[in-house]
């Protein structure tokens, strides 16, 4: 019943509020971001990547657009093209610095912050997991903020997960704040402290959007997708 409920919710959100109103760049400041989409470039098997200057006015009706409420929709189908080293598709922003890939360390004195208002509005049926925010380092993810069925959580490789919310309805908005610097990563969920973690990682950058954690090999169909809607996204 839970999976059926999730599927129904996913479809209802996909059909609702699809009237586009401008481009994502009209709604979010994308100057410090580049976008990866789960579609082929002329090099087969390589996903499309757009730099910040290319995102001005850019719309993809299937993967990256504005809904009728003014939120930016990030959608990745389970048959999407994946990045090197990943098995899963994404419609996801990656942090830039002065037009180049950002790369910083959590041990640095400067505190770097990402704030967002997010709704997870679609989950694949068979493996209903979606990542909506990350800190990644030069090798792998350091921290992943995920929705798994109805649980919002923080995953850290080799460390216990941190639960942000249980029984969280699909489509319910929440505020997320992530800070990194001074040898720590801190996370706030809906204004409340959720994580204060001493850790050192280098070559880091923020990511935000939809990183669907399923594919055809997991039993999901090509038309199944993860979907995340972001109405506010700020880097400091």
In a domain, 160, yes or no: yes
Q: Which residue has the higher pLDDT, 157 or 48?
A: 48
pLDDT bucket at 45, cuts 50 / 70 / 90: confident
DSSP strand pairing (72-77 vs 225-235):
antiparallel
In a domain, 72, yes or no: yes
Evaluate if residue 17 carries a pLDDT over 80.
no
Q: What gap in Å lies between CA 98 and CA 23, rounded to an integer? A: 22
Evaluate if residue 5 carries a pLDDT over 80.
no
Q: What gap in Å lies between CA 200 and CA 202, rounded to an integer? A: 7
Evaluate if residue 15 carries a pLDDT over 90.
no
Q: What is the pLDDT of residues 93-116, one digit of tens each?
A: 999 999 999 999 999 999 999 999
Q: What is the pLDDT of residues 54-83, one digit of tens each?
A: 999 999 999 999 999 999 999 999 999 999
Tell which phi-psi region holds residue 57, choosing left (phi > 0), alpha (psi between -120 and 50) or beta.
left
In a domain, 106, yes or no: no
Percent of the chain with pLDDT over 70: 91
In a domain, 182, yes or no: no
In a domain, 71, yes or no: yes
Percent of the chain with pLDDT over 90: 87
Q: How many domains does the chain have?
A: 1
Least confident stretch, 16-20, 123-127, 144-148, 166-170? 16-20
- Which CATH number fits the domain that encloses residue 74? 2.60.120.200
Q: Is 224 exposed, middle or buried, given 0-12, 13-18 or 19+ CB atoms closer than 10 A?
A: buried
In a domain, 155, yes or no: yes
In a domain, 107, yes or no: no
Domain ranges, residue 55: 2-101+117-169+205-233
pLDDT bucket at 21, cuts 50 / 70 / 90: low
- Segment 31-47 shows an average pLDDT of 92
User: Looking at residue 12, what is its pLDDT?
Assistant: 40
Q: Which residue has the higher pLDDT, 119 or 10?
A: 119
In a domain, 140, yes or no: yes
Q: What is the pLDDT of residues 179-202, one digit of tens each?
A: 999 999 999 999 999 999 999 999
Q: What is the pLDDT of residues 149-176, one digit of tens each?
A: 999 999 998 899 999 999 999 999 999 9
pTM for this structure?
Answer: 0.91
Q: Among positive and negative, which fits the CA dihedral 167, 219, 13, 71?
A: positive
User: Looking at residue 213, what is its pLDDT?
Assistant: 98
């Amino acid at each position: 019943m839970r999976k059926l409920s999730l599927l129904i919710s996913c479809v209802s959100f996909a059909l609702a509020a699809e009237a586009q109103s401008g481009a994502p760049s009209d709604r979010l400041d994308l100057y410090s971001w580049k976008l990866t989409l789960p579609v082929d470039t002329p090099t087969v098997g390589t996903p499309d990547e757009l730099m910040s200057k290319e995102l001005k006015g850019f719309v993809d009706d299937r993967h990256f657009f504005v809904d009728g409420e003014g939120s930016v929709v990030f959608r990745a189908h389970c048959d999407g093209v994946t990045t090197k080293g990943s098995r899963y598709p994404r419609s996801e922003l990656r942090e830039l610095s002065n037009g180049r890939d950002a790369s910083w360390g959590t041990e640095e004195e400067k505190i770097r912050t990402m704030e967002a208002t997010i709704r997870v509005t679609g989950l694949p049926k068979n493996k209903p997991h979606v990542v909506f925010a990350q800190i990644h380092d030069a090798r792998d993810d350091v921290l992943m903020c995920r929705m798994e069925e109805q649980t919002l959580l923080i995953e850290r490789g080799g460390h216990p997960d941190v639960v942000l919310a249980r029984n969280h309805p699909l489509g319910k908005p929440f505020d997320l704040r992530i800070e990194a610097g001074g040898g720590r990563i801190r996370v706030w969920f809906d204004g409340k402290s959720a994580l204060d973690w001493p850790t050192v990682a280098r070559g880091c950058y923020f990511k935000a959007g939809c990183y669907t954690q399923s594919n055809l090999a997991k039993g999901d169909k090509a038309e199944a997708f993860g979907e995340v809607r972001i109405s506010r996204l700020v880097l400091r």
